[in-house]
């Protein structure tokens, strides 16, 4: 079995091997802090050994619940936002057929997300679409009080009960929330929904390997055992006893900090050459953005889908301000096989490609871009993923999580809190006259 693999050859022009090796003491200290739980945010380290400790019984319970949804629903709405949304979407989209939503012969329910925006049009169109559908809901919220999710769930719960009856609704609504706190817990207990607990010590953006990610992934029909197995194998490959330069998470954390601190590279662009990985990038952006962007520090995580965005962002990346570096997720083997046909007239001049696989063209675009961007002053790391399956996605998830914990501690921030996300909520509640926000309401209205 291969593993995902980090290649840093194309950063050599920007940071020397010695410059990276110099980070070893800081990386080791960060890893020790994580292992011993002595750093900032140490009450949120439940993700660290999660893959190796998930029990077979827990996975079986998740799979059985997913099966109930699969048997009783044409459509399953996954309600959640941020860490309660992106991991499941990332894995499901990476594994599913690009045109699944257009197909009629589904192997399982159509998976749709809600509760990740407050768009009236989105919610109206969703409720319209669901009018004649046998649908179920996975309601995910750790706090149980997130406005976006709670609002969507209020609408969907009422519609589900109206269309399917109270008894069936009870069967096809599942809650994933805190053990005791929050409105989602109160509702689940009162209505008698099947529920799963989000562990106290796992923050939203690190929660994809809890029921938050695992139930929607199993419901979509993917193998959560393989996903966890992949993550557990990466837990071993990034453990404290692995030598620094052989530990991909340690090296990735060191290189990005070196580029930031020594080269003024303030923006990291996660690049993919497969549109199915778009939401992996969205998940990664939250993981790094929320973990590191604080105390007026942190690399800004951006993402592009190539080669699509080479035709829109390519110019900026090649010649704009030199404050960026790229990390490319490169899938080695596509799942499908498609050769370019020969054409007798060769009107489009593409016969030089006849007989080649489409992926070979994609790979040359990738290689050509890498060399061009490095020449243009953009350091380039590459994460090679042997193929897109549950095992390697599990490896990728844990690789990035572990690197994020290490990187945040090297940067000197608490990688596990997100105080900044409260500011907009406070203002929104004040503007909406939420009970308890009377003073804030007065103050904010005076500013308008």
**Enzyme catalytic residues:** 290, 311, 425
With CA atoms as reference, report the closest residue to 92 among 211, 214, 184. 214
> Which span (29-37, 80-88, 272-280, 372-380) binds ligand PA5, by CB under 6 A?
80-88
Report yes or no: 40 and 414 within 8 Å, Cβ to Cβ. yes
* Dist. CA 268–CA 288, nearest whole Å: 10
- 86-95 and 211-219 helices cross at what angle (nearest 10)? 30
Q: Extract the tokens encoding 191.
A: 């209505």
Q: Which tokens sit at 153?
A: 């769930």
Nearer to ligand PA5, 225 or 290 (CB): 290
Nearer to ligand PA5, 244 or 300 (CB): 300
CA angle 119, 270, 198 (to 5 degrees): 55
- Backbone phi, then psi, for 63, in 5-degree steps? -65, -40
**Interface pick for ligand PA5 out of 65, 141, 272, 327 (rule CB under 6 A):** 141
415 binds ligand PA5 (CB under 6 A): no
Token pair in block for residue 61:
């319970």
Select 183 or 350, whichever has its Cβ closest to ligand PA5: 183
Please tell me whether residue 301 binds ligand PA5 under the rule CB under 6 A.
no
Rounded Cα distance between 191 and 168, Å, is 12
Segment near ligand PA5 (CB under 6 A); pick from 98-106, 199-207, 238-246, 347-355: 199-207
Interaction of residue 414 with ligand PA5, rule CB under 6 A:
no
Which among 29-37, 198-206, 235-243, 354-362 is the span making contact with ligand PA5, rule CB under 6 A?
198-206
Query: C-alpha 154: how far from its chain's center?
Result: 26
Q: Which of 8, 81, 137, 232 binds ligand PA5 (CB under 6 A)?
A: 81
Note whether 195 binds ligand PA5 by CB under 6 A. no
With CB under 6 A as the contact rule, the residue among 51, 82, 230, 301 that binds ligand PA5 is 82
Q: Which stretch binds ligand PA5 (CB under 6 A): 139-147, 222-230, 309-317, 335-343?
A: 139-147
Q: Which two tokens stand for residue 129?
A: 């679409």
Query: Of the candidates 65, 92, 139, 149, which one interacts with ligand PA5 according to CB under 6 A?
Result: 149
Residue 29: phi and psi, rounded to 5, are -65, -40
Site membership for ligand PA5, residue 205 (CB under 6 A): yes
Residue 231 to residue 19: CA distance in whole angstroms:
29
Of 136 and 182, nearer to ligand PA5 (C-beta) is 182
Give how far Cα 325 sits from Cα of 9, 152, 271, 277, 374, Å: 13, 38, 10, 19, 9
Nearer to ligand PA5 by C-beta: 149 or 395?
149
Three-class secondary structure of residue 46 per DSSP:
coil
- Contact between residue 241 and residue 275 where contact means Cβ atoms under 8 Å apart: no
- With CB under 6 A as the contact rule, which of the stretches 81-89, 268-276, 347-355, 366-374 interacts with ligand PA5? 81-89
Beta bridge partners of 196: 176
CB of residue 81 vs ligand PA5: minimum separation in angstroms?
5
Measured from the CB atom, is 23 or 206 closer to ligand PA5? 206
Residue 254 and residue 27 in contact, taking contact as beta carbons nearer than 8 Å: yes
Helices of type H across 293-341 = 314-319
Told to check if 290 binds ligand PA5 by CB under 6 A, we report: yes
- Asked if 147 touches ligand PA5 (CB under 6 A), the answer is no
Q: Judged by CB under 6 A, does residue 210 bind ligand PA5?
A: no
Min dist CB 225 to ligand PA5, Å, is 25
- Interface with ligand PA5 (CB under 6 A): 81-84, 141-143, 146, 149, 203-205, 290, 418
């Amino acid at each position: 079995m291969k593993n995902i693999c980090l290649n840093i050859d194309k950063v050599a022009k920007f940071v020397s091997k010695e410059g990276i090796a110099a980070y070893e003491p800081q990386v080791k200290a960060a890893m020790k802090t994580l292992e011993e739980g002595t750093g900032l945010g140490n009450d949120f380290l439940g993700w660290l050994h999660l893959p190796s400790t998930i029990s077979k019984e827990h996975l079986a319970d998740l799979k059985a619940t997913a099966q109930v949804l699969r048997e009783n629903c044409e459509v399953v709405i996954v309600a959640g936002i941020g860490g309660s949304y992106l991991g499941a979407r990332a894995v499901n989209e990476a594994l599913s057929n690009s045109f699944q939503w257009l197909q009629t012969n589904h192997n399982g329910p159509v998976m749709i997300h809600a509760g990740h925006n407050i768009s009236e049009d989105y919610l109206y169109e969703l409720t319209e679409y669901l009018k004649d559908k046998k649908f179920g809901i996975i309601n995910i919220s750790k706090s149980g009080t997130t406005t976006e999710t709670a609002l969507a769930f209020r609408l969907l719960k009422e519609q589900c009960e109206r269309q399917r009856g109270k008894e069936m609704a009870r069967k096809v609504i599942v809650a994933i929330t805190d053990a005791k706190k929050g409105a989602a817990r109160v509702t689940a207990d009162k209505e008698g929904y099947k529920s799963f607990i989000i562990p106290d010590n796992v923050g939203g953006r690190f929660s994809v390997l809890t029921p938050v990610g695992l139930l929607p992934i199993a419901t979509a029909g993917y193998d959560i055992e393989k996903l966890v197995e992949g993550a557990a194998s990466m837990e071993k490959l990034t453990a404290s006893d692995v030598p620094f330069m052989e530990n991909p998470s340690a090296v990735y954390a060191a290189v990005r900090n070196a580029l930031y601190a020594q080269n003024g590279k303030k923006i990291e662009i996660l690049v993919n050459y497969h549109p199915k990985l778009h939401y992996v990038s969205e998940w990664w952006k939250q993981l790094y953005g929320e973990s590191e962007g604080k105390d007026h520090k942190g690399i800004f995580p951006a993402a592009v889908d190539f080669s699509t965005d080479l035709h829109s962002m390519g110019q900026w990346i090649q010649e704009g301000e030199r404050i960026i570096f790229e990390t490319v997720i490169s899938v080695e083997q596509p799942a499908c096989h498609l050769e370019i046909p020969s054409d007798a007239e060769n009107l489009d001049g593409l016969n030089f490609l006849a007989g080649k696989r489409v992926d070979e063209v994609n790979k040359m675009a990738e290689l050509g871009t890498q060399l061009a961007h490095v020449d243009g002053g953009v350091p380039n790391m590459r994460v090679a993923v042997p193929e897109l399956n549950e095992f390697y996605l599990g490896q990728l998830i844990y690789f990035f999580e572990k690197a994020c914990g290490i990187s945040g501690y090297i940067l000197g921030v608490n990688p596990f809190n997100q105080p900044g996300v409260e500011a907009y909520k406070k203002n929104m509640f004040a503007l909406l006259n939420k009970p308890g926000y009377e003073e804030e309401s007065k103050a904010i209205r005076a500013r308008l």
